[in-house]
Structure 1
């Protein structure tokens, strides 16, 4: 058996094209979605990511508003900027690029964002709404994973799903989304006992543990779908949290690294911005872009 490659790059390109069509329809009604991205400091990886976000935001026809602040900016100044963006009707989505400088309280900054404009889905109200099955802004990476799973498997109901990782950004919201689709979900992590045995029972494995090639091929149930969220820099280049070479001959389908989950994150950020714009203007949620 050789796993089918789940092409996140192609899926994300198709998703962005669809978002562009939806944006054009909104513009015909006099509505232009606006995404504000705030970068504090000069972290090289963050700078690259912010540039990519800005370029793709403009490509789908949205307004891209970038705010770059020095690393020594007082937290009060950042919070004041967020207040202004919250009050600006031209801004439908607000994203503060993480990580923040050490002198800033990350939770305080995230929770200062208007939950309706929190397109990262990190605000405590959105976290609570997702956990209780209410309408929420959903974190972009788990949303992208869900879209890939639905596209490949269709109905997830009754599937045994293992999420390896318990972060607030991926692991926990991923588990909530799978539960909402009626999968039977186990959340594991690097300290879980008998992790290989748990993996061998899973129809779906979502690896988001942050360790290069952590999940081995002989852990995978034959025919399982493997979603690799990891991005690890090694001497061999970028690799995922799954040992691709040993897992691909066993799995039924697998995302590559790079080119799997990664491209979906920015595409889902744009999807969330479109959804936030629709809600702000009393329009229905765009179909297929929310859980």
Structure 2
């Protein structure tokens, strides 16, 4: 049977490390790192995500600054708030919870955040730094995926990695991180021809297409490592709902290791968010 990569345990370890770093920063400067979380409207899923992020901030000692705006907030009002947070030296990280209500333009909003405070790693400057290997803040989910892979892979050089999904949030940045480790990377998506055949040649398979149970057992070669980023709530025949990943985990016993859903990638995303906030605070302190 494939080993399960326990994202909850690895995230808890990272959170403990971040907590120690925060304590050291407070002891030295007297000011805890600050993360501003901006929520526009009242999307139910966003409310849950924001609550988890704020809870984790409190657990590690990061000051969370919650700014809630009504759904009818104008583009100008939102951008004005971002400018205010950019100018506040006690705010080290800014996170705007997506999706934004229409007709707000998320690209304009994300581009307005100072790259040094962009703890989501979405600003074009940070994307450019990632692509050139010159530092910057890395998107949380791809960063978490690499930490999960590090639990089972010591040497990435020459390994074949297939990333299924081409989003700016996961697929593209993760492909760049794998390239930095000297993997041979193929980026695919659900429209890729002969996708199963391509995946079957991979030593590492990352499923981030948002397509439940897309990756079947015959898609994965024996001994491959599988990272399942997908998470979809589905209703079973008995009317009960459950969370399902992009992989048919029950068919992947021949893999070397796989992340479960839930309990795999998800916990790492928030842990990496607080880690990025501490990184931003450290960089700010050193000019």
TM-score interval, smaller chain: over 0.9
Could you say which residue in structure 2 is the equivalent of 1:69? 69
**Given that residues 122 and 169 in structure 1 are in contact (C-alpha distance below 8 angstroms), is that contact kept between their aligned partners in structure 2?**
yes
Give how far 1:177 is off: 0.4
- Distance of 1:243 and 1:182 partners within structure 2: 28
Could you say which residue in structure 2 is the equivalent of 1:246? 251
- Residues 203-229 of structure 1: CA deviation (Å, up to 9, x unaligned): 000000000000001110101000000
- Distance of 2:230 and 2:170 partners within structure 1: 10
- Distance of 1:125 and 1:58 partners within structure 2: 29
Q: TM-score scaled by structure 1?
A: 0.95
- Distance of 1:6 and 1:93 partners within structure 2: 29
The root-mean-square deviation of aligned C-alpha atoms, in Å, is 0.8
Could you say which residue in structure 2 is the equivalent of 1:128? 128
Could you say which residue in structure 2 is the equivalent of 1:178? 178
Give how far 1:157 is off: 1.5
Could you say which residue in structure 2 is the equivalent of 1:204? 204
Secondary structure in 1 matching 2:185: strand
Could you say which residue in structure 1 is the equivalent of 2:22? 23
- Distance of 1:151 and 1:5 partners within structure 2: 11
- Distance of 2:48 and 2:34 partners within structure 1: 20
- Distance of 1:155 and 1:83 partners within structure 2: 43
Q: Does 1:271 align with 2:270?
A: no
- Residues 129-176 of structure 1: CA deviation (Å, up to 9, x unaligned): 111111111100000000111121122111110000000000000000
Could you say which residue in structure 2 is the equivalent of 1:152? 152
Q: Does 1:52 align with 2:52?
A: yes
**Given that residues 161 and 184 in structure 1 are in contact (C-alpha distance below 8 angstroms), is that contact kept between their aligned partners in structure 2?**
yes
- Distance of 1:252 and 1:150 partners within structure 2: 13
Q: TM-score scaled by structure 2?
A: 0.97
Could you say which residue in structure 1 is the equivalent of 2:239? none
Could you say which residue in structure 1 is the equivalent of 2:117? 117
Unaligned runs of 5+ in 2: 237-241
